[in-house]
């Protein structure tokens, strides 16, 4: 299963403080913006999303169709195919995407320890 680019999405209390902290670890802003209340930060191949007031807790995030530079990759598994495969394997989904659509879509699930996983396709 090709899940695409991986990042951790962190729910932060103070976007400015979190930005400054991760900059000290060598991360720089790659996407998002202070006005939108989120930043995507990058250090080499490592991606961290900092989100203020958008969700509770932290999430593992995968982006089918993208590499770590948000560039489209030629061969990837569509989120709908991933969804079908997970459901076939008995994985419960918190939210699903309409299997009769194309393009962007997302699914949400939890691992056995309650960690949230977002599979978020943008293309």
Tens digits of per-residue pLDDT, 12-39?
999 999 999 999 999 999 999 999 999 9
Q: How many domains does the chain have?
A: 1
| pTM of this structure | 0.92
- At 9 the three-state DSSP class reads strand
Q: Which domain holds residue 89?
A: 5-121
pLDDT attached to residue 8: 97
Q: Alpha-carbon distance 111 to 103, whole Å?
A: 25
Q: Which residues of the chain have pLDDT under 50?
A: none
What is the pLDDT at residue 108?
98
pLDDT for residue 59: 97
Rg for the chain, CA atoms, rounded = 15
What CATH number is attached to the domain comprising 75? Answer: 3.10.180.10
Token pair of 86, please? 């997970």
């Amino acid at each position: 299963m090709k899940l695409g680019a991986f990042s951790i999405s962190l729910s932060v209390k103070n976007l400015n403080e979190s930005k400054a902290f991760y900059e000290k670890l060598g991360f720089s802003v790659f996407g998002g913006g202070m006005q939108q209340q989120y930043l995507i930060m990058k250090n080499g191949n490592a991606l961290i999303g900092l989100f203020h007031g958008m969700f509770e807790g932290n999430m593992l995030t995968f982006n089918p169709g993208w590499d770590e530079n948000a560039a489209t990759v030629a061969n990837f598994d569509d989120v709908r195919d991933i969804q079908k495969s997970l459901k076939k394997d008995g994985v419960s989904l918190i939210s699903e995407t309409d299997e009769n659509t194309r393009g962007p879509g997302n699914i949400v699930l939890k691992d056995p320890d309650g960690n949230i996983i977002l599979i978020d396709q943008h293309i």
